[in-house]
Amino acid sequence: MVNGLDALEDMQMSNEKVKQTSEIIIGTKQTVTALKSGIVQEVIVAKDANDRMTEQIVHLALKEGIRIGLQIHD
């Protein structure tokens, strides 16, 4: 089980990864396609993302064992 501090540190690390990554996929359809093709290493969900729009992405990522992060800063 992950405690709150560990989860916060993971989220902050995810924000840094977003800034440093060489390839970013943006958009629900593009992300779903990439998840299905197996090229995704991690999914970062924006803090203002609509739950209804991200539900399929989160489900697919969990199914495939893909790490999911939450962007908590701009």
* Of 35 and 3, the one with more pLDDT: 35
pLDDT above 70 for 13: no
- What residue ranges define each of the domains in the chain, with the CATH number in brackets? 4-70 (3.30.1330.30)
Q: Report the C-alpha gap between 67 and 44 in whole angstroms.
A: 8
> Does the reported pTM lie above 0.85?
no
pLDDT, position 17: 62
Query: Taking Cα atoms as reference points, which of 63, 64, 43 lies closest to residue 54?
Result: 43
Average pLDDT over residues 8-33: 70
Average pLDDT over residues 31-35: 92
